[in-house]
Amino acid sequence: MIYVVATSQVKPECREAFITGAKQCIAATRQEKGCVSYENHTSIHDPNLFVVVERWESREDLNAHGKAPHMKVWREYSAPLKVSPTVIEIISDAKVEKF
């Protein structure tokens, strides 16, 4: 299992356009092979900070996702809506310690 946390700071005046586009991207992504979950969240402290939390069956599935045609469309659409590029953190399922 591979986890991804992607954080995007959106321009306040572009918030609704970002949400509209994200819904389309999420719907397409959820149909991809290996997508276990793909959820968009908003920070409780900043309504313009969006965090996508993803789970993929394998790194190969995640790599294919990055090359999917709808992701190219999403990157081009969302770039001008954001304050800065999305920060992406890829996390393995290896646990440091069990609680």
Helix extents (H) in 1-99: 15-29, 59-67, 69-78
User: What is residue 92's predicted lDDT score, i.e. its pLDDT?
Assistant: 84
User: What is residue 40's predicted lDDT score, i.e. its pLDDT?
Assistant: 96
Average pLDDT over residues 65-73: 97
Average pLDDT over residues 28-42: 98
Average pLDDT over residues 63-70: 97
Average pLDDT over residues 34-58: 97
Distance CA 58, CA 63 (A): 9
Residue 27: pLDDT band by 50, 70, 90 thresholds?
very high
DSSP label at 43? -
Query: Strand 35-42 relative to strand 2-9: parallel, antiparallel, unpaired?
Result: unpaired
pLDDT higher than 70, residue 74: yes
Distance CA 70, CA 24 (A): 9
Neighbours of 80 (CB within 10 A): 9
Helix extents (H) in 30-58: none
Domains of the chain: 2-92 (3.30.70.100)
